[in-house]
Amino acid sequence: MNDWTLPPRPLSIAHRGAQAYAPGNTLSASEKAHTLGADMWEVDIRCSRDGIVIAHHDAELADGTAVRDMDYADILSRTRAACAPCPTLDDVAALAAQSGTGIYADIKDLDAVLPALAILRRHGIDRAILGAFAPEAAAMLKQAECPYPRSALVPLQADPFVHAAGAGVIHLCWERLERPQDTLTPDFFRRAFDAGQRVVLWHEEDPARMAAIRGKPVLGICSDRPEMVNPFTPPDGRPLRIVCHRGANGIAPENTLPALECALAAGFAMAETDLRVTACGTIVAIHDATLDRTTDGTGRVDAHSLTELRLHDAGGWFDPFFNNVRIPTLDEVLALAVKYDGGLYLELKDAAPGQVWAAVQAAGLEQRCFFWSFDMDLLRALRQDSAAARIMVRREDHPSLDVALATLAPAIIEFRPDADAAEVAALRDGPVASMIAYMGRDGDVFDRIVDMRPDMVNLDQPFAFVRHLDGKTFQPMACER
C-alpha cells in the first residue's frame, strides 16, 4: 500500500470493525465489517502485562482495571464474560489475511508499535496503515523501515500539518465538531498533497455528512457503519434496485430499526418490513402473529398494547449485542426511510390499510413505498382508499401475466427466479416494474436473476448478491437488444 494514487472511491475503514452491529474490536465486528464490504478494519492496539498485543480501545476494562496490569488470559476471560471477547492482534490479522481485508492500526501503547508491525508482516498483510495519536509512533515506524504508510491521528485543536509532520497520512479525528466537513477546504488538501500526504477522515455515521465528505479527495473514511462509506450503486448495464427482506436480517435482528437502517445505509433502494396492529391500535413492524420467535415475550401481538410490547426485548435472541432493542412502530420505520431518503416495501399482515396509507402520506413517502399482503381483502381495501398507492401483485398467484396486470392496477409484478424470462422482459421500460424475489444465496440463481434484467430484486442475502456482482462485466442493456 505504498502507491499514493488516490483510490477511485474512499476506502471504507470499519471503525473498530462494524461497531454499530457488534462490540468494537471483536472478531465478530470484523466479520460483520467484511460482510458489509469494508476495505480495512480500524483496530485499536494495546499490550497486556505479559506482552501480548491485543485489540482493545480503552486503557481500562469496564471494572476500572488497567489493561497493561493484566495478563491476556485474564483480559480474555473478563471480556468474554461481558460478551465482547478481546482478540489478539494475531487473531485479527489471521482473519484479515483469510478475508483479504486491510488493517488500519491505531496503536495506543508505544510499546506495541514494533510488535504490531512484526505481526502484520508475519501474516503477510498487504494492505495496512499504521498510526497513532502519539507522533513518536511514526518516528519509530520510520526507523524500523515500516513498509506500510504511517498515519498520525490528529486531535481537535491540533494543527494537522504540525502534528502529522512526520507521517504520510493525516487522520483527522474531528467528529465532535458540529460541521467537521467544513474543515475540508481546497486549501487544506492542497497543503497536504504538496507535502506528499494523504487524508483519512474521522468516523462518520450521519448520512448527510457522509454524503458531503465521500466525494472529497480522501484516501479513506472511518465509520461504525462501513456500508455507508460507498453505498451500493447498480453495475453499468444493470440498473436494478435492491430490496432487503426484513432489512439486513443477517447483520441485525429482522424487522428491527438496526436491520432496517443497515439496509438503507448500505444504499439499497428499499427495506421490506411486516406490519401488524397492537391491542391499542398502533401499527408495529414484526413478522409473526406471536411474540415467541423474535422476542423474549409470548402470546399474540394483537393481544398486547404498545406499552406492553415495549417491555420485551426484540434483539437478544439474535445476538446479545442487540439486547433491549425493541419492536419498532410504523412511524419509526417511516422516519428512518426519510432520514436515508430511502424506500420501503410494506407487507400488510393485519394492519389496517387506511391507517398505514395515512401514515405514509404524512411522511411524504407515497412514491417511495409499495405494498403487498397475503390477504387480498387488505389490498382491495388499500386500493379503495387510494388510487395512488403502489401495490405489488405476485405473478405466481394468477394464471397469466395479463391477469396479474389487470388485478388492483399494480405498480410492481413480483416473479420467482424460475419465472419465464420473456414475461419479465415484457414489462421492461413500461409503467409496471418487475421484481424477482429470492431468499437464497446460490450464485447460479443470482446469475439467472441478473440475466433476466428485472427492475428490482427482493433479497434475503443482499450483501452476498452484491459481492457476487463485484468483478462481473455487463454490457449496457441498449447493446443487448
Q: Where are the domains of the chain?
A: 11-228, 241-480
- Write the CB contacts of 245 (distance below 8 Å, at least 6 apart in sequence): 272, 437, 439, 458, 459, 460
Over residues 125-159, the pLDDT tens digits come to 999 999 999 999 999 999 999 999 999 999 999 99
Residue 34 annotated to the active site: no
Helix H or strand E segment including 362 = helix 353-362
CA torsion sign for 140, 142, 146, 150 is: positive
pLDDT at residue number 477: 42
Neighbours of 316 (CB within 10 A): 16
CA distance 234 to 244: 15
pLDDT at residue number 479: 32
* Closest-CA residue to 86 (of 30, 20, 124, 137): 30
- Quick one: CATH architecture of 11-228? Alpha-Beta Barrel (3.20)
CA angle 417, 422, 425 (to 5 degrees): 90
Q: Is the pLDDT of residue 480 over 70?
A: no
Residue 245 annotated to the active site: yes
Over residues 194-206, the pLDDT tens digits come to 999 999 999 999 9
Take residue 17 and report the three cell numbers written for it. Answer: 470493525
- pTM value is 0.94
Catalytic residue, candidates 57, 287, 312, 398: 287
CA distance 245 to 232: 16
Over residues 318-346, the pLDDT tens digits come to 999 999 999 999 999 999 999 999 999 99
CA distance 308 to 170: 50
Q: Is the pLDDT of residue 348 over 80?
A: yes
Amino acid sitting at position 382: L
Superfamily name and number for 241-480: Phosphatidylinositol (PI) phosphodiesterase (3.20.20.190)
Span 80-105, average pLDDT: 97
Catalytic residue, candidates 15, 34, 171, 245: 245
Over residues 158-176, the pLDDT tens digits come to 999 999 998 999 999 999 9
Over residues 291-316, the pLDDT tens digits come to 999 999 999 999 999 999 999 999 99
CA distance 132 to 431: 55
